């Protein structure tokens, strides 16, 4: 089972970026936590981060045929058409993750172009959202169920 964990713009600054909103963990800390959980679950994970929309599309395309995608597209969540198109094109089973509870924040963060093509969305649980996404993908992929 192979899962791509993909992070978008400004998430490379986690740890120092508005820690009261996004938490004190760096992206490297989150990667270690996810890799440990993945190892326990027998999942192969790849990590990528980019501040550029086209790069995110390239990485999604390069992982066509993988079993799952955990995606925090950062601010592109609210604007991108190309990223959801890439998900539709590759048919990657996607869990959308946001560290902060976007629904408690500015109105522009309430809309996601990714949610309509995602299996589901986890918001507001900080780094734990990535771990939950991994557990959910593992459950669905091992059970072979759809819902």
Active site residue 22: yes
CB of 84 to ligand DQA, least distance (A): 15
Active site residue 138: no
CB of 21 to ligand DQA, least distance (A): 7
Residues 61, 34: Cα–Cα separation, whole Å: 22
Nearer residue to ligand DQA within complex by CB, 32 or 108: 108
Nearer residue to ligand DQA within complex by CB, 7 or 90: 7
Interface ranges with ligand DQA (CB under 6 A) = 10, 72, 74-75, 77, 98-100, 102, 109
Nearer residue to ligand DQA within complex by CB, 5 or 102: 102
How many CA atoms does the CB half-sphere of 118 hold within 13 Å? 22
Task: Tell me the catalytic residues.
Answer: 22, 98
């Amino acid at each position: 089972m192979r899962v791509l964990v993909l992070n978008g713009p400004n998430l490379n600054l986690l740890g120092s970026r508005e820690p009261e909103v996004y938490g004190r963990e760096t992206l490297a800390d989150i990667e270690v936590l996810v890799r440990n959980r993945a190892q326990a679950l027998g999942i192969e994970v790849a990590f990528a981060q980019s501040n550029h929309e086209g790069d995110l599309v390239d990485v999604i395309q390069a992982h066509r045929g993988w079993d799952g995608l955990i995606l925090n597209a950062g601010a592109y969540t609210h604007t991108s058409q190309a990223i959801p198109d890439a998900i539709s094109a590759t048919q990657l089973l996607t869990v959308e993750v946001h560290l902060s509870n976007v629904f408690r924040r500015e109105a522009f963060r309430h809309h996601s172009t990714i949610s309509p093509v995602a299996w589901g969305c986890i918001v507001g649980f900080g780094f734990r959202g990535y771990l939950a996404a991994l557990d959910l993908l593992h459950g669905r992929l091992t059970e072979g169920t759809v819902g």
